[in-house]
Amino acid sequence: MDIHDELAGEIYEHALKKIVSSKEALAVRAHAMQSAFRIALPFPELQMELLSILGKLENEDAPAICARSRILSKKLKNSLSRIDS
């Protein structure tokens, strides 16, 4: 699903806020991670930003958040390594 760049930017910023908010439900945070990941894929600078944020979640108490963070971090690293090559 394609979304307008301006709207994608707003959604990305909103998703980042949800990702780091411990007040949000785990499902909301996991979905926000996935949404931010999809928006960031075409933009290496956003990938780097998201990778940094996901890295901070490694010590999260919730296994679901840790797992989703690990999976998406791996995909981001693979994507960035293809860009560097």
Token representation of residue 49: 């930003």
Residue 1 in this model has a pLDDT that exceeds 80? no
Instruction: Provide, for the chain, the percentages of residues in helix, strand and coil under a 3-state DSSP scheme, each rounded to the nearest 5.
Output: 75, 0, 25
pLDDT value of position 2? 67
pLDDT in tens, 25-68: 999 999 999 999 999 999 999 999 999 999 999 888 899 999 99
Residue 83 in this model has a pLDDT that exceeds 70? yes
pTM: 0.90
Contact 20, 49 (CB under 8 A): no
Contact 32, 53 (CB under 8 A): no
CA gyration radius for the chain? 12
